[in-house]
A and B are shown apart, each in its own frame.
Chain A
Amino acid sequence: MLGMKTRKRSAMLLLSAVMSISLFGCSTGNSTTGNAGQAAGEGSTATASAETTKPAGGKLVLYSAGPQKLADNIIGGFTAKTGIEVEMFQGTTGKILARMEAEKSNPVADVVILASLPSAQALKADGLTLPYPDAENADKLNKDWSDAEGNYFSSSASALGIVYNTKLVSTPPTSWAELATPAWKDAVNIPDPTLSGSALDFITGYLSVNGDKGWELLDSYKANGVAMAGANQEALDPVITGAKSIVAAGVDYMAYSSKAKGEPLDIVYPEEGTVISPRPAAILKSSQNVENAKAFIDYLLSDEAQKLVADAYLIPGREDIEATNRANLKDIPQLKVDWNWMSEHGDETAARFSETFK
């Protein structure tokens, strides 16, 4: 057992040496992509993008929530136009915020696109955003959805509706209250507001209009067997396969794109009005590629990118651009929601809702 142990030890020593060398190797190799520590990182990015003053070449790190194809198309267009390479992290709003939190001491992202207005408002309140009041075409944006000081810009939005399986539902419900009737017992899904920013927007929006009476509707949903079912796609999936008939507060662009593929889906907007959930983009104060980030925001608000937004079945953020493949803003009955109230009461509403529906 004696000498053999020493062999094991020396083998282990060697191993750990090899491992630490390879780790160092990786990290130095990586600094050229600009993710190394603050000191080293600044040096290498500066040399890589030649002073980073003009938006020609260089790179941009984007964290984006929402449809990936749209993000890919926008990045493609942006890189073609400016020559700036974009590195993207794609995830839900929650995942992006978690990643930003974990990276707090060494931020990486330059621009974030989220799927929920209140979280962008929170980023601004925490002083994490970099205002860009001179963004091109910002004046054409829907004022209610973007920050007056230029901290965030909603370049697209989705409306929440009643999404139903056309094989199972011949006469779709026309109001939110109807979903609490026996006809729809155990047949309805609703996305989880702690996972889906848009579902939270709907619930807080509805409550901001109806006050405590709004909870009566939600309680009657629970009593009628409405099931809380993960984020948007997870709530929609059982409706596509026919296990459920309806998604309440379903994101409309997902319904439109599935329908376009040929799935048996359709959507209605209840006549008493619904909530529209904007998708804000913001430059982070910690950005190391500010000029590139600004160029990206400009591109996001350009005619070209807004056209891509419309093609993805989303509502364009600019009021002067219309979509041809879906209901436009003016055709969707809206609730007169109070975004400030919604931001303030988001947490407690989500908590109470998930407590109720557990």
Chain B
Amino acid sequence: MKPVVADNNRIFRRVGVILALFLLTISIGVPLLLIFWQSVYPDGQWDWMAPIQTITGHHLSGVLLNSVWLGICVVAVTTLLALPLAWMMAKTRMGQHRWVDVILMIPFMTPPYIGSMGWILFMQKGGYLQQWVPSAASWSELFFSFWGMVLIMSLHLFPFLYLLLRDAIIRIGGNLEEAGAVHGGRAGYRFRRIILPLLLSSYGMGIMLVFVKTIAEFGTPATFGRKIGYYVMTSEIHKYISSWPIDFGKATSLASVLLSVCLVMWYMQSAMSRKFTYRLVGGKGQRFKRYSLSGGAGWLCGLYLALLLILSVGIPYFSIIAASTMKLRGAGLSFDNLTLDHYRELLSWGSVSMKAIGNSLGLSLAASTVAVMIGTGLALTIGKSSSLMQRVIDLFSLLPNTVPGIVMVVGLILFWNSPWMPFTLYNSYGMVVLTYVVLFLPYTVQYVKSSFTQIDGTLFQAGQVFGGKPLYILRRILLPLIIPGMLAGWMMTFTIATRELVGSLLILPPSMQTSATYIFAQFEQGQVSLGMAMAVVTVGMTVLMLLGIEVLNSKRKWNAS
């Protein structure tokens, strides 16, 4: 990093920072500022006490504690689910089964409220489990508890943590561990003193996002949480923002509390990550060893994977597919109650549903591509967050993930539809793309940052020493090392964008539907089967697409690690 720092380089870095700040200000900063403006300016009267009054006057502490406790428990359970799997997929021969990655993306691609519905339909009184195994009636309803909710949310979020951890473990490689072994460290010791500290930075990022996703999640609390009487911040915010009487002031006040909690988390994570970031991807070739699993260990790992797949994909999708093929929902599971009519109706050419699918795909493709380009730029600007400005950019780019989606969306509407704007983007295709990009930018930033911060600067110096022109270094050193991160970010953005609901409900131009709003509308209209069929079709299409990408990938060299 130190040698020959040319002046123009410094200038360009500054331009980059300014540009990043400008982009983030107009896309995230100003909309959020407008939200806060609303919360201190209720009824056209300046009242900076308004948010505080809302919070004190509202039995907030209980709901806030509920949110935080839920977040902590989900983080714990996702760790339990993701860490062993990440190790298995990185270190053992099981990692060759790349299809597992795609299957494990399914829970993440499933809209949270659909996944919860699947569990509810399966476990409830008279549900699929009881129709199947009548004796289950004595215990299956016990599932409707706080821990049931934690399990549902963890099963939804763990793939995300798993991907981050697996990539991090792969980057650690075998050398360091071998060194430990040579010096007589036992497996447990090696894990504790070598792997764990090296993992902490990625793990910190991962759990922060899991925590934030959990406390900002709306779908599961709205479907499952309401059933068991567990209320969290998002359900309260949503109440003020979507039911009569609408009160943005109160909603934004609550949102600011949620935001503060998330900022504290972010601060802790970044402090930890600064302390525990190591250059792992250096110039020396990495030897990588995969353990072959034999005997008991192999069985255990296989069993673990199978159980995980059953819980995260098997059970919810059994319910979803069953519900989508039922003639009469009141008639229950039986062969004469099966029909494919809902799929026929859904997939008939030129229908509303086909248009919705087309819209979803188009919007998600556009949004994920733009998000990856901007997000990579931001991540590289942030770099190792050494300067204050870089940390500010880091914070800004994470904001959309720390503000409940619906609040962010309202801010965007207020901004892009305000009378003083020279042009209004609101109610157009571009607005939807912009919203998705803003909402999902943090994913790309996190993924690219995570792979970028672990590249040793000496690699670039080596490139220069050997006369590599900047473009050549970019193409042959930087890009190959961060492309897995970019790709992961792109895939994440694409898959979440295809199921994005809360923002779409508010922001789609009239007469335009996406698959998610279509599903939601069918639920509202009592056409549950049609909605579930749509969920199956869209998730199925995304899986096929990801499989295609995996197949293409596996032919590339940089993925061989």
A interface list, Cβ under 8 A from B: 1-9, 11-13, 15-16, 19, 22-30, 33, 35-38, 40-41, 61-63, 67-69, 86-95, 97-99, 101-103, 105-106, 108-109, 116, 118-119, 122, 165, 167, 192, 194-195, 197, 227-231, 233-234, 236-238, 240-244, 254, 257-258, 261-265, 346-347, 358
Contacts and interface: CB of A to CB of B under 8 A. Distances in A.
B460 A9 contact: no
A122 B246 CA distance: 12
25 contacts: A2-B9, A4-B478, A5-B16, A6-B12, A7-B470, A8-B380, A9-B13, A12-B374, A12-B381, A26-B429, A27-B424, A30-B425, A30-B427, A36-B423, A41-B424, A91-B505, A95-B505, A98-B241, A98-B506, A101-B246, A106-B417, A237-B329, A242-B332, A243-B127, A262-B327
B15 interface: yes
Tell me what chain A mostly uses at the interface: helix, strand, loop, or mixed: helix
Nearest to A38: B419
Given A22-B430, A30-B427, A3 B523 contact: no
Given A106-B418, A240-B330, 14 more contacts: A4-B474, A16-B19, A26-B425, A28-B423, A37-B423, A87-B509, A95-B505, A95-B506, A108-B510, A192-B226, A227-B227, A242-B330, A261-B328, A264-B330
Contact of B242 (A28, A94, A242, A264): A94
A176 to B, nearest CB: 23
B330 A27 contact: no
A108 to B, nearest CB: 6
A244 B144 CA distance: 14
Given A23-B430, A26-B430, A12 B521 contact: no
A233 B524 contact: yes
Contact of B419 (A37, A92, A234, A265): A37
Contacts of B49: none
Top 6 nearest A-B pairs (CB, nearest first) are A3-B470, A26-B430, A30-B428, A12-B377, A242-B126, A35-B427
Contacts of B87: none
A3 B526 contact: no
Contact of A30 (B124, B223, B429): B429
B272 interface: no
A63 B427 CA distance: 14
Nearest to A187: B125
Nearest to B239: A194
Given A1-B1, A108-B510, A233-B524, A263 B329 contact: yes
A6 B370 contact: no
B534 to A, nearest CB: 14
Could you say which of A62, A88, A237 has the most chain B C-beta atoms within 10 Å of its C-beta? A237
A10 to B, nearest CB: 8
A232 B245 CA distance: 18
Given A35-B424, A37-B423, A263-B328, A233 B377 contact: no
B526 A254 contact: yes
A7 B471 contact: yes
Given A23-B425, A40-B423, A241 B242 contact: no
Contacts of A192: 226
A242 B125 contact: yes
Interface residues of B, number: 85
Interface in B421-436: 421-431, 433-434
Tell me what chain B mostly uses at the interface: helix, strand, loop, or mixed: helix
A90 B1 CA distance: 56
A63 B13 contact: no
B304 to A, nearest CB: 32
B243 interface: yes
Nearest to B2: A1
Contact of A231 (B16, B508, B524): B524
B525 A233 contact: yes
A99 B226 CA distance: 24
Contacts, number: 226
B377 A8 contact: yes
Nearest to B117: A237
Contacts of B231: 358
Contacts of A108: 427, 510
Interface of B: 1, 4-6, 8-9, 12-13, 15-16, 19-20, 23, 121, 124-127, 222-223, 226-227, 229, 231, 239, 241-246, 248, 327-332, 370, 373-374, 377, 380-381, 410, 413-414, 417-419, 421-431, 433-434, 457, 460-461, 464, 469-471, 473-474, 478, 505-506, 508-511, 521, 523-526, 528
A95 B521 CA distance: 12
B525 A3 contact: no
A108 B426 CA distance: 10
Contacts of A7: 470-471, 474
A26 B509 CA distance: 13
A87 B244 CA distance: 24
Given A30-B427, A87-B511, A257-B526, A99 B243 contact: no
Contact of B473 (A3, A35, A109): A3
Contacts of B374: 12, 15-16, 19
Given A30-B430, A258-B526, A264-B330, A243 B126 contact: yes
A26 B433 CA distance: 10
Given A29-B428, A90-B521, A99-B506, A197 B460 contact: no
Contacts of B419: 37-38, 105-106
A1 B461 contact: yes
Nearest to B329: A240
B330 A229 contact: no
A241 B121 contact: yes
Contact of B377 (A11, A99, A119, A261): A11
Contacts of B505: 91, 95
A170 B460 CA distance: 78
Contacts of B511: 86-89
Nearest to B23: A16
B423 A105 contact: no
Contacts of A24: 423
A14 B6 CA distance: 23
A2 B6 contact: yes
A106 to B, nearest CB: 5
Contacts of B222: 230
Contact of B330 (A23, A88, A118, A263): A263
Contacts of A238: 124
A37 B330 contact: no
B387 to A, nearest CB: 14
A262 B12 contact: no
A156 to B, nearest CB: 16
Contact of A88 (B6, B127, B510): B510
B437 to A, nearest CB: 8
Nearest to B528: A237
A275 B329 CA distance: 29
A102 B413 contact: yes
Contact of A9 (B19, B423, B429, B471): B19
Given A37-B423, A94-B244, A105-B418, A6 B8 contact: yes
A93 to B, nearest CB: 7
B401 to A, nearest CB: 20
A1 to B, nearest CB: 4
B126 A5 contact: no
A106 B430 contact: no
A241 B329 contact: yes
A97 B239 CA distance: 12
